[in-house]
Structure 1
């Protein structure tokens, strides 16, 4: 994705901050634990924290967490939902923390928005030696027939390659950890998936997909047509046409460790 397109998409979420906070899923607890496993200490930076979906899980796990988010509307929502958390304006490219001040940097559905040529050295700066950088993505399990159909109907704007179980590994491995930016400072990446699920109705699932960046940047007529197709598909399926259902998901994790200084 070209820089100007990435910026347009990444800056779209503030227009839907309350809907994002209400409808986006949290993260599988086991995935968050694995992401932080064997870190040198308990200090966690939730980078690109959005409205605090991942931050809330970290708080529940008693992590010593600070959140950093560039979008003022998203940051305001995070502060409203989690008023006890230290939440700062900033970005992956300009992290408002001292050198070596955290043991873990996590990014929930955010690592792909970072300019890693700049963010890689900046993340390395704030991480203690031996510290962990991990990206987490909530992905829909398209091994389930109706979920695969939803992905086809929604199109890449609503359900992109990072959003489905069958493609997230290929879409994330190394792509968001460019060798020129990170390899001198970080070890080899590891990936794993953890079963997850979210109770939804057809309306709330449509609302969730409506918070995707690709949908948010659409012209209104195109956006309504896309969401209309999704709504019609869900109404046509016995699994989703009546009442609540569980959206089968996984939380995928991409993790690397910061190498000690030579």
Structure 2
């Protein structure tokens, strides 16, 4: 099995698949993370950290904020620029943000905080946020309370994010205080090909040996046949979006 570091930096090799397979975020959830800093005459300034192909970036843009996208992988940022125009992009990590001190109203991470050192990430977010700024964390998690989704997860293997969130609120170090949380339930219409793209965009499968990848995909094909996800037939994949926010003193 690949190391956590190898997994965390693997997505660029499957950037197009990631863009196809991963869902967008409910706009209500993104708005909730930003609510503590909205208001006033000026547009708020936001960094989307671990921006990937821009799934979260486009929601922030839709809400009218000024946003910069930061990711460690230039290949992911290249796909972001194809889909979200006019957003500045920078190579960087949550632990080393290419942003001046106290220059942002919000630092947001989508599907990313589980790859971050929570102490270093919190300290760096505090550096770039203004007083009263918000650190927002969000994940789209498949709803494993549904039997076939739980079986699919078992075939694909659980992710680092799912393991972390299974233990409760994600760790956020000082100087941030109380972490608020909220969640939204929804579903995404998926075909067999988009379900496969979702699976192939996961770090476990990207970094797996060819025989393990073939074993996982064979199990998925068997499950999808059972579900009737054949050709253009659509199934609804249920999700729970979990969002968290904490304020900088």
* TM-score over 0.5 (shorter chain): yes
Partner of 1:116: 118
Secondary structure of the structure 1 residue equivalent to 2:123: helix
Root-mean-square deviation (CA), in Å? 1.9
Secondary structure of the structure 2 residue equivalent to 1:66: strand
Q: Does the 8 Å contact 2:20/2:194 carry over to 1?
A: no
Structure 1 portions without partners, runs of 5+: none
**Match of residue 169, structure 2, among 170, 173, 179:** 173
Return the TM-score normalized by structure 1.
0.86
Deviation for aligned residue 1:152:
2.5
How far apart, in 2, do the equivalents of 1:154 and 1:6 lie? Answer: 16
Aligned residues: 243
Q: Which has the higher contact order (CA 8 A, sep 6+)?
A: 2
Partner of 1:39: 37
Structure 2 portions without partners, runs of 5+: none
Partner of 2:59: 57
Secondary structure of the structure 1 residue equivalent to 2:102: coil
Partner of 1:92: 94
How far apart, in 1, do the equivalents of 2:21 and 2:102 lie? Answer: 34
How far apart, in 2, do the equivalents of 1:190 and 1:20 lie? Answer: 29
Deviation for aligned residue 1:241:
4.8
Partner of 1:68: 70
What are the within-5 Å matches in structure 2 for residues 73-222 of structure 1? 73-156=75-158, 160=159, 162-163=161-162, 169-171=165-167, 173-175=169-171, 177=172, 182-183=173-174, 185-222=175-212
How far apart, in 2, do the equivalents of 1:59 and 1:196 lie? Answer: 22
How far apart, in 2, do the equivalents of 1:107 and 1:126 lie? Answer: 14
Secondary structure of the structure 2 residue equivalent to 1:225: helix
Residues 66-106 of structure 1 show CA distances to partners (whole Å, capped at 9, x for unaligned) of 11111011111112222311111111111111111111111
Q: Does the 8 Å contact 1:199/1:246 carry over to 2?
A: yes
Deviation for aligned residue 1:155:
2.5
Secondary structure of the structure 2 residue equivalent to 1:37: helix
Secondary structure of the structure 1 residue equivalent to 2:238: strand
Q: Does the 8 Å contact 2:141/2:240 carry over to 1?
A: yes
